[in-house]
Amino acid sequence: MEEFKKTVNVLEGPWEASAFPQGEETTEGVISREMSTVFKKDGYLCETVVTRNYHGKDYHDTSTHKRIVRIDG
């Protein structure tokens, strides 16, 4: 995946160590990678999930966004 190579600035911690050591995305033996972000927006608890599925030397990204529950009002 040399054509998709870029530098990622993840400074430290287990996420950096397993997914982006030395700023490079690990792909050897990886089938998929998923990141979930939970946040508050417009009075709701929301979630965004981004998934990267690897297919040989290529990958396909998808994302889902949903409101979980109203938290204000």
Each residue's pLDDT tens digit, 6-44: 666 666 788 777 777 777 788 889 999 999 999 999 999
Contact 26, 19 (CB under 8 A): yes
Instruction: State if pTM tops 0.95.
Output: no
Asked whether the predicted pLDDT for residue 53 surpasses 70, the reply is yes
**Cα angle 37-46-72, degrees, rounded to a multiple of 5:** 135
pLDDT of residue 73: 62
**By residue range, what is the domain housing residue 32?**
2-70
Beta partners for residue 49, in sequence order: 36, 64
**Edge-to-edge strands, sheet with 32-41:** 32-41, 44-55, 58-70
Domain count, the chain: 1
Nearest to 39 by CA among 29, 31, 51, 49: 49
Mean pLDDT of 34-62: 94
